[in-house]
Structure 1
Amino acid sequence: MTETAQQYWEGFYQEKDRVWSGNPNPLLVREATSLTPGTALDLGCGEGADAIWLAERGWQVTAVDVSETVLRRAAARAPAGITWERHDLSQSFPSGQFDLVSAQFLHSPVAAPGEREDILRNASRAVVPGGVLLIMSHSGWPSWVETPPFEYHFPGTREMVESLALDPEAWEVQVEEVVERPLTGPDGEPGSRQDSVLRLRRKG
Structure 2
Amino acid sequence: MPEEFTRAFWEERYSGHGTRHDRRPNPQLVTEAGDLAPGTALDAGCGEGADAIWLASRGWRVTAVDIAAAALRHGQACAEALGADVAGRIDFQVADLTDWTPPEDHFDLVSTHYVHPAASRQALFRRLAASVAPGGTLLVVGHHPSDPHAAASHDCAPQVHFTADEVAADLDPDRWDIRVAEARTRTVTFPGGREVTMRDAVLRALRSCPVGLVGSARRSGPGEDRPDRA
TM-score over 0.5 (shorter chain): yes
Superposition map of 1:34-183 within 5 A = 34-78=35-79, 79-95=87-103, 97-107=106-116, 111-112=118-119, 114=120, 116-140=121-145, 143=148, 150-153=155-158, 154-162=161-169, 165-183=170-188
TM (norm. structure 2) is 0.77
Counterpart Cα distance in 1 of 2:9 and 2:185 = 28
Give the 3-state SS of the residue equivalent to 1:23 in structure 2. Answer: coil
Counterpart Cα distance in 1 of 2:149 and 2:157 = 16
Calculate the aligned-residue CA RMSD, in Å. Answer: 2.4
Unaligned 5+ segments in structure 2 are 80-86, 210-230
Give the letter for the 2:32 counterpart.
E
Give the 3-state SS of the residue equivalent to 1:47 in structure 2. Answer: coil
Q: Please identify runs of 4+ aligned residues in structure 1 that moved more than 6 A.
A: none
Counterpart Cα distance in 2 of 1:146 and 1:193 = 10
| 1:141–1:193 Cα contact (<8 Å) kept | no
Residue 104 of structure 1, CA deviation: 1.2
Deviations 1:29-49 (A, max 9, x none): 010011110000000111111
Tell me the percent identity: 40
Deviations 1:99-155 (A, max 9, x none): 0000011135xx23x2x2211110000000000000011114755679555241211
Count of matched residue pairs: 198
Give the letter for the 1:60 counterpart.
R
More deviation, 118-127/90-99: 90-99
Give the letter for the 2:91 counterpart.
T
Residue 88 of structure 1, CA deviation: 0.5
Unaligned 5+ segments in structure 1 are none
Counterpart Cα distance in 1 of 2:6 and 2:50 = 21
- C-alpha distance 9-148 of structure 1, shift in aligned 2 (>3 A): closer
Deviations 1:56-89 (A, max 9, x none): 1110111000111111111112122211111101
TM (norm. structure 1) is 0.86
